[in-house]
Chain A
Amino acid sequence: MADGTLEVSLVAADRVVWSGEAREVLAKTSEGEIGILIGHAPVMSSLVPGVVEIVTEEERIVAATEEGFLSVADDRVSILSEDAFMADEIDAEAARAEVERLSPEGDSIELRRAEAKVRAAEKS
């Protein structure tokens, strides 16, 4: 069962952020956290702004995503998000400032996006 790898692609609207083979994918959907290993049943789910983790043999890739989709079929995982950032592309300071600026205004989609960036930056 554990032979082979997942074929993962993390795709933003205007570029492919990351693609390659991985052992495990962790993401946050509207229903909660989801973890995907090899042999997962076909699933299509909507993502909320959050952190996506992709675990390969060598490393752990952390990225922040906006609302998007996750589809799994035949060990192919595609993560679609209108915008996605690898953790090392994120300016953590700027993201934190954004969170502080937005948080007094209450919950908003921008706030959640900024929070996702901060969390991704902290996790990597």
Chain B
Amino acid sequence: MAVSLREYRAKIKSTQSMKKITRAMELIAASRIIKAQQHAAAAEPYARELTRAVSAVATFSNVDHPLTTEKDDPKKAAVLVICSDRGLAGAYSSSVLKEAERLTEKLHSEGKEVEYYLTGRKSESYFNFRGREFVKSWTGFSDKPEYANAREIGDELVAAFNAGLEDPAEGGQAAPERAVDELHIVFTRFRSMLTQEPDVIRLLPLEVVEGTEAPPSDEVLPLYEFEPSESEVLDALLPKYVNARIYYCLLQAAASELAARQKAMKSATDNAQDLIEKYTRIANQARQAGITQEISEIVGGANALADATAGSE
């Protein structure tokens, strides 16, 4: 009995220190969410103005831009998977990866080849472990993305998309083997502190109407003059719009990751507390049983002694 009592005490101790760790992680995640939300709020004016500008150009010009034109026969699709660098966030990364698999299946069933671009070490190791190929990955910023990260990703993806376009200046396709006809992003949308949903958006070809915050439909857009020309303004505007969208997705994913981590760590802390209570009860029981046994042994011994002396007289 004494042995198991010691065992239970050791278990209580280790659970207590584990609880301290998970509690600390919960608090860290909680404080970072606020920062992530502030970043998301700070990025909003730019996204809003950019969306306004793109809608204005799109409304008042009939210019066809390669980034907005649907290809006749899409063969290859790129998927950008936005995942976390670290685990301990519950089902966060696995649900993103599951969503990516679902999207892959859908694209395959449409007869498209799929190419992957990854962010976050978790998705990288998922692909490496399964021996699957990906084109490029970016890591190290999943919980605090900066605009520069989005720009890097955006430049790469737009380049891959443009590689497949016929370049009239050079006549013919520039690099058809790299050609990507569509671009999808799998990320986690931050609905609230309690719910985060994995989501897919198609980034390219662009559907301009579907903005982060489309201007209200009753607002009449002014008749802009474009300098130098509509198509050149659009040329410069659209890649920036793509970058801003990617930045938006990264920020959403970061907030979701932190919220998921906070939730996971909170339940881990709660579970640790439950375990401590359970072990304390068992340990008390064991201690009590030990005492009871000792008493009954003493009483039994004393009785036997009394009987023996009574018998000898």
Question: Do A and B actually bind?
Answer: yes
B49 at the interface (CB under 8 A from A): yes
Out of B39, B45, B49, B232, name the residue touching A71 (CB < 8 Å). B49
- Provide the bound-state CA to CA distance between A30 and B232, in Å: 10
> Nearest 4 pairs between A and B by C-beta?
A45-B227, A42-B222, A73-B222, A13-B147
Do the beta carbons of B224 and A80 come within 8 Å of each other? no
Flag A1-32 by CB within 8 Å of B: 1 or 0 each: 00000000101111110000000000001110
Are B240 and A45 in contact, CB atoms less than 8 angstroms apart? no
- CB-based contact A80/B46 at 8 Å: yes
Contact call B53/A46, Cβ cutoff below 8 A:
no
Partner of B53, one of A14, A16, A29, A69: A69
Q: Spell out A's residues near B (CB within 8 Å).
A: 9, 11-16, 29-31, 34, 41-46, 67-69, 71, 73-74, 78, 80, 82-83
Contact between B146 and A14, CB atoms less than 8 A apart: yes
Indicate which residue in B39, B45, B52, B227 contacts A30 across the interface (CB closer than 8 Å).
B227
B248 CB to closest chain A CB (Å) equals 10
A14-B146, A80-B53, A82-B243 given; A44·B46 CB < 8 A: no
For window 1-53 of chain B, which residues contact chain A by CB distance below 8 Å? 39, 42-43, 45-46, 49-50, 52-53
Can you report 8 residue pairs joining A to B where beta carbons are below 8 Å apart? A11-B45, A14-B39, A14-B46, A29-B227, A44-B225, A69-B53, A78-B49, A82-B151
Interface residues on B, range: 20 to 34
8 Å CB contact of A46 from B43, B147, B223, B236: B236
A13 with B43, Cβ < 8 A, contacts A42-B224, A46-B227, A71-B224 known: yes
Interface residues of B in 191-244 (CB under 8 A from A): 221-228, 232-233, 236-237, 240, 243-244
Pick the residue among B147, B222, B244 that contacts A83 (CB under 8 A). B147
Shortest CB-to-CB span from A93 to chain B, Å, is 22
Q: Tell me the smallest distance from the CB of A124 to a CB of chain B, in Å.
A: 24
Assess whether A44 is in contact with B151, with CB atoms less than 8 Å apart. no
Least CB distance from A42 to B in Å reads 4
For residue B49, which residues in chain A have a CB less than 8 angstroms away from its CB?
A: 9, 11, 71, 78, 80
